[in-house]
Copies of this chain bind each other. A is one copy, B any other.
């Protein structure tokens, strides 16, 4: 394996040495969306007071995790984008001069909804929109009932000067299990992968299984950081909601995989981390994985399984 020496770090092209202060909001969600929005705004203000340039809220922060049940009544919680929440949060972003990632339940058309993360720039305008591409469906996580899989692909948001000029790749929760998503964002120029999440344990789960599940998330985030040479951040919710207990542990990893910030399982907090973009070029010079990808041999990645001729394959 390559061995990135201190000397080679020093030789790295200076590139941009901008530092972006990232703030991840970790919160518990209550029954009333208004109350959750108020809590989120309070924590976003706190992050900005602490110098954050870029703040990330957890997945679907305005509501309890309604996909625990399939109930058509919950579709009423969706809202258009732009809509009331993006207006309110846009005003807040402008006031604070920050960039803000706000994950919302998007109503696109009657009967057409997405699990979406909007990026609001420091002018208050929407500068990016990501619709969750990989949608789970498992007991107590019935997301396929609510959310149409995203159709905007893996697009990077250039945040401009306000957030240190960082190129932001927003992904959501279940996406974190897909190396394809992380790679495509990195190939599109992402320097930070931000994952708003709503990850938790089923309360009926034995302690050993819980620990194992929690421990499985961390190497995925580290591996996305290492294999792509990017920063990775995940902002999770906390608290008990019916049968689920959300496990917090919001996290920031550097491009070499080291954890630079990590929250506890149960604290409402703003997790701060300074992201030095120069570290990306340094890391990729030391571990030049992007150089050696075998494009000629990756065709099978667009197939479901390699057990049949391509002509019989979905989609």
Contacts and interface: CB of A to CB of B under 8 A. Distances in A.
Contact of A306 (B133, B140, B188, B315): B188
Contacts of A153: 297
A3 B213 contact: yes
A83 interface: no
A147 B227 CA distance: 22
How many copies of the polypeptide does the oligomer hold?
Answer: 2
Given A298-B180, A307-B189, A219 B226 contact: yes
A303 interface: yes
Interface stretch (A21-29, A268-276, A283-291): A283-291
Measured as residues with beta carbon below 8 angstroms from the partner, the interface class of chain A is 35 or more
A113 interface: no
A43 interface: no
Interface string A157-178: 0000000000000000110011
A203 to B, nearest CB: 9
A110 to B, nearest CB: 24
A302 B304 contact: no
Nearest to A198: B1
A12 to B, nearest CB: 14
Given A3-B138, A6-B206, A179-B227, 6 more contacts: A134-B292, A136-B292, A187-B301, A212-B258, A301-B301, A302-B302
